[in-house]
Amino acid sequence: QLQASGGGLVQAGDSLRLSCAVSGSTSGNYVLGWFRQAPVNEREFVAAFSRRFGNTYYADSVKGRFTISRDNAKNTVYLQMNSLKPEDTAVYYCALGRWYRVNPSDYDHWGQGTQVTVSS
């Protein structure tokens, strides 16, 4: 139901846009969350979009650099990542949940990850 794409290898300071296409039977009032997981780290919250309320949420580490947007016609949520840093290197996942939460266990459906690598 979730297809994430857009990862790649970039240099510090560059930008990338990740996409998460939502397909199949879903409630219109979902929360789409972006998470990331670097080697030896736990999966961590990055950002989320509430389709019910139209709100966006960001982790402090990405606030001001990353922006969530959505295309309702395409049922796709984007994560625009600017001013990328080497510490942003991780596998990025999108996930569907019912409510805004930062705990990955509160999300029911996950897409496959997309690798983002930022070189210094």
C-alpha radius of gyration, the chain, whole number: 13
Mean pLDDT of 95-114: 93
Mean pLDDT of 54-58: 94
- Classify residue 93 by burial, with Cβ atoms within 10 Å: 0-12, 13-18, 19+: buried
- Reduced to 3 states (helix: H, G, I; strand: E, B; else coil), residue 105 is helix
Mean pLDDT of 67-79: 91
pLDDT value at position 45?
98
pLDDT value at position 86?
97
| pLDDT at position 34 over 70 | yes
CA–CA distance, 117 with 103 (Å, rounded to integer)? 24
Q: How confident is the model at residue 26 (pLDDT cuts 50, 70, 90)?
A: low
